[in-house]
Structures are given as C-alpha cells and as structure tokens.
Amino acid sequence: MATTISSRMKGKARNAYFKLVQMFPLLSVKTARQFNEAQKVMDGLFSKGTLGKGEEMYLDALSDLVAAYESQHHPIEPASDADVLRHLMEAKSVNQATLHRETGIAKSTISEVLAGKKMFSRQMIRIFAEYFNVDVSILAANF
C-alpha cells in the first residue's frame, strides 16, 4: 500500500499525507468517540479551504471511513413517496391541479400520494420521472 501511495505522491503531498496519518491514522471507525474525533479532523481540513493533494487524498479516505460508520450506525431511511413528490412539485413550482393537468394523473391519486395513503405505481413512476426530468430510481426507492 505504501508503495502505491508513494508512487502517486511526491514531496510536499506525500509529507502532508503521512503527517495527517500520524496525527489520526486511517483505521475503521468503530465507536462514537472515534467518529467524533474523525469529524473534528475533517472539520479542521474543511476549514482550511484549499487543500494540497496529500490532504485531499487523506480527507477522501477518512470521509469513506466515516461514511461507512454512518451507514451502519445511523442509516437514513429512503424518503416517502409523499415527500419525494412534494419536493419535486416545490422544485418545479407546480401545484396539484397543474400536475394533474400536465400528467393526466387523477387529482385524487395525487392527493392520496401526498397524504401518504397511496404509493407510486409503476405507471406513476414512469410519468413523474419524465415530467420532472429525473431518473426513475429516484421515484422507485420504495417500490
């Protein structure tokens, strides 16, 4: 591993990277304390503004370790269909009547989705993806 890093970094970049590794080693984040310490290191680097190549590489690696901890210990549930539709409508500045008129989806169906009483159907996903110009995967997260 050191050979790979050494071949990609020279001089200042290599020195900055290894200085950060000595200060806070790149190991799996397993506890809340380690997570908080890693966050402080990352915050310190972010506050610097422009980073050198070695600092950027270190921050990328540390960010991956923190993200792995977060996904295991603080998973974020996918947004509900109602939340997704509400967000897309707000972003496009359309109301229910306009959405009905421009997509052909019944007003009652749109209302039921927004109220959380109904989930997207395959047909709604296809129509909304085209209408809002988003990938179907954004709308199909709960399908």
The tens digit of pLDDT for each residue in 125-135 reads 999 999 999 99
CB count in 10 Å sphere of residue 105: 19
C-alpha span between 17 and 38 (Å, rounded): 15
CB count in 10 Å sphere of residue 143: 12
Helix (H, G, I), strand (E, B) or coil at 26: coil
pTM across the whole model: 0.58
| Separation of CA 8 from chain center | 28
Please determine, looking at this structure, whether the domain spanning 81-139 carries the CATH number 1.10.260.40. yes
Residue listed under structure tokens 């409508």: 89
**Residue ranges of domains in the chain:** 2-73, 81-139
pLDDT tens digit sequence for 12-50: 999 999 999 999 999 999 999 999 999 999 999 999 989
Q: Which of 36, 43, 42, 46 is nearest to 70 (CA)?
A: 36
